[in-house]
A and B are shown apart, each in its own frame.
Chain A
Amino acid sequence: MIHRDMVCPFCGCLCDDLVVETEDGQVVQVDNACTLGSNKMMGAWQHRLKSPVMRDGGGWRDTTYEEACEYAAGVLLDADRPLMYGWSSTQGEAQGIGVSMAELLGGVIDSTTSVCHGPSILAIQEVGHPGCTLGQVKNRADLVIYWACNPTEAHPRHMSRYTTYADGFFMENAFRDRKLIVVDVRKSDTASIADEFMQVKPGGDYAVLSALRAIVRGRADVVPKTVAGVTKEQLVRVAALCKEARFGALFFGVGLTMAPGKYKNVRNAIELVDELNRHTKWTLTPLRGHYNVYGSNEVFTWMTGYPYAVDFSRQIAFYNPGETTAVDILARQECDACLIVASDPGAHFPKQCLEHLAEIPTVLIDPMQTATTPLCRCQIPTAVTGMDASGTAYRMDGVPIHLKKFLDLGYPTDTEIIGRIFKQVKEVKHP
């Protein structure tokens, strides 16, 4: 069977033009998706865990959904400071139940935002977000900057759907009329196709952004000959290109949020965009990685007022990144139980955090075996949203998109499993 207009549940581009062919409950062909998307679609139906598994002495045993959910609820109820982490590759509906459960338990809920664009949010909270939808960029932008990111490898269709290779409604020949500037510490694949590549010394983004701001302000005289490895001539040239643009779009990746300076780098980028907005139209968008990490920020914000790292131990929502973020809580060995949903800290958290995760009762809700599996006590497999479950996800520009289901493999959805655990928690906490 051919399913058209399917949405890719991989990265924040949420491409919604996929054509998926299924035969006898198997995916046989995926069209329009990039390598990342098609790898997920082609592989995700076959590499699932067959049933929940539980640690048994030195090994593992299969178990039922009933026992696994009961175990998860018990672990969370027994804990003084449970941590509920992940939430980026799941449905908005499941995220909502997660927040309610964290509140009832007096726990901490955090999403993978804290280790990707958390610092971008901190910067946005300080100076605002001059953003727009990707449709605006596609149709209007005549200058695109990719700063400290590599969409060719991390968001492979971003350029063909929304920027460099996309048609623009207000442009005669979008491909020729659009200029591309790449700023990075290394010459990535994206850099090699740029009109202008600015190579910054590692850790130098803040200085380069400040220099550009000064030049745009008309104070090129205070800028030294080179700034973090970039020559003044190039800075002046880039600043002029930015000012001449009719509509400029700056996209940035975790190269800014993870580098020294972290959220201050992003703040400086936003202030550069502000400065440019005195001359022409500019916008800025973080390139979000997981397909629904933006959704976790939205859902957490409507429900608690804060976008991630929300701590309910004081019975009200409390938010203090650096203290209530997952990495810090784990590194300080503060939580005594952990529920991980649709994310893989085993692969992406520093070793010190994983050591603690392995020590406490950790429950993982994820369709497949991951690097976190060995560290947990119980894993509950669920359906993959956008494949055998439908649900809501938010694109990197904040547009909610409905993901459609095209397969039925008999797995419960994340919403169902978290709902079941929540029900048992409520029976004890709210009889």
Chain B
Amino acid sequence: MRFVFNTGRTAAQGAGLERKTSEEYQKATSVARMNPVDMMDLEIEDGERLRVSGPAGTVVLRVEANDGIPRGTVFVPLGPYANAVLDGETHGTGMPDYKSVSVEIEPTDDPVPTIPALMEGIGGVALRREE
């Protein structure tokens, strides 16, 4: 099903900002909030997983029901997961389409990737050391 992909700040995302290698930040940014009616249409329950495909790629997220999200929209906190599907088009403004990209969503059983795994997929090398 097609959805408008909206991103933004949340308190949990902000609280984890200073420790992006933590599980807390990973959890806070890998969630997709959706209207419960849309979830019914997708036949998916709270806590299950979705595959979101946008112009730049695909990512797996955990879904969370939220009445405040209008139908047809999915809200994902700012962060590496949201950006995994966005492309670099800015329409001459310098600002990517963080709030208006159209994505395809389907339920999946695949696991949510870790942030180091996401970055390695892009061509990076994770520094695996927690201090």
Contacts and interface: CB of A to CB of B under 8 A. Distances in A.
Nearest to A376: B124
Interface residues on A, range: 35 or more
A154 B94 contact: no
A201 interface: yes
B125 interface: yes
Interface residues of B, number: 57
Q: Counting chain B CB atoms within 10 Å of each CB, which of A49, A156, A331 scores highest?
A: A331
Interface string B58-102: 000000000111100101001110011111111111111111100
B99 A186 contact: no
Listed residue (B20, B97, B100) with the most chain A CB atoms within 10 angstroms of its CB:
B20
Nearest to A370: B20
B38 to A, nearest CB: 13
A259 B100 contact: yes
Contact of A58 (B8, B75, B125): B125
A117 to B, nearest CB: 9
Contacts of A355: 122-123
B100 A322 contact: no
A114 B96 CA distance: 9
Interface string B99-131: 110000000000000011001101111110101
B93 A347 contact: no
Given A36-B15, A358-B124, A375-B119, A262 B88 contact: no
Interface string A312-336: 0000000001110111101100000
B95 A371 contact: no
Interface of B is mostly: loop
A48 B115 CA distance: 18
A60 B15 contact: no
A327 B70 contact: no
Nearest to B69: A186
B90 A255 contact: no
A328 B90 contact: yes
Contacts of B16: 39
Interface in A161-215: 185-188, 191, 199, 201-203
A154 B9 contact: yes
Given A186-B69, A202-B99, A255-B99, A347 B78 contact: yes
A55 B127 CA distance: 9
A354 B70 contact: no
Contact of B99 (A258, A263, A328, A349): A258
A258 B89 CA distance: 12
Contact of B96 (A36, A152, A350, A369): A350
A48 B9 CA distance: 24
B11 A327 contact: no
Contacts of A358: 119, 122-124
Given A322-B90, A351-B84, A351-B85, A39 B18 contact: yes
A379 B21 CA distance: 15
Interface string A363-397: 00000111101110001000000000000000000
A23 B73 CA distance: 48
A353 B57 CA distance: 13
A371 B18 CA distance: 11
A154 B14 contact: yes
Given A186-B68, A348-B83, A373-B127, A202 B6 contact: yes
Given A40-B18, A352-B56, A355-B122, A150 B83 contact: no
Nearest to A321: B94
A86 interface: no
B123 A262 contact: no
Contact of B116 (A60, A114, A254, A374): A374
B88 A353 contact: yes
Contacts of A262: 91, 93, 95
Contacts of B116: 374
B2 interface: no
A186 B124 contact: no
B68 A188 contact: yes
A119 B79 contact: no
Most buried by B among A43, A328, A371: A371
B127 A118 contact: no
B22 to A, nearest CB: 8
Given A47-B18, A118-B95, A153-B9, 8 more contacts: A36-B17, A47-B19, A191-B68, A203-B100, A353-B88, A374-B126, A375-B119, A375-B122
15 contacts: A35-B14, A35-B15, A36-B15, A36-B17, A58-B125, A60-B125, A152-B11, A191-B68, A260-B100, A328-B90, A358-B123, A358-B124, A368-B18, A374-B125, A375-B123
Nearest 7 CB-CB pairs, A to B? A331-B88, A325-B94, A374-B124, A322-B92, A358-B123, A187-B68, A374-B119
Interface of A: 10-11, 35-36, 39-40, 43-44, 47-50, 53, 55, 58-60, 114-115, 118-119, 122, 150, 152-154, 156, 185-188, 191, 199, 201-203, 254-255, 257-260, 262-263, 289, 309, 321-323, 325-328, 330-331, 344, 346-355, 358-359, 368-371, 373-375, 379
